[in-house]
């Protein structure tokens, strides 16, 4: 896959459309991060809102 990896955004979510499969980086210029919790207290409470399933 030809991918323009953004070396400022590391990512290991290989089933995301924006993931550069030959590298652990995102191809987006910017990502949105959010939460599914009212009061997040752990990293598991956060989500990449830029995720798109392949």
Give pLDDT tens digits for 1-54: 578 999 999 999 999 999 998 899 999 999 999 999 999 999 999 999 999 999
Give the domain ranges of the chain: 6-48
pLDDT at residue number 19: 97
Asked whether 40 and 25 are in contact (CB, 8 A), the reply is no
CA dihedral 13, 31, 26, 2 (to 10 degrees): 120
């Amino acid at each position: 896959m030809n991918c323009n990896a953004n070396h400022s955004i590391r990512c290991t979510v290989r089933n995301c459309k924006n993931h550069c499969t030959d590298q652990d980086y995102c191809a987006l210029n910017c990502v949105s991060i959010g939460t599914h919790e009212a009061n997040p207290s752990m990293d598991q409470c956060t989500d990449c809102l830029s995720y798109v399933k392949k």
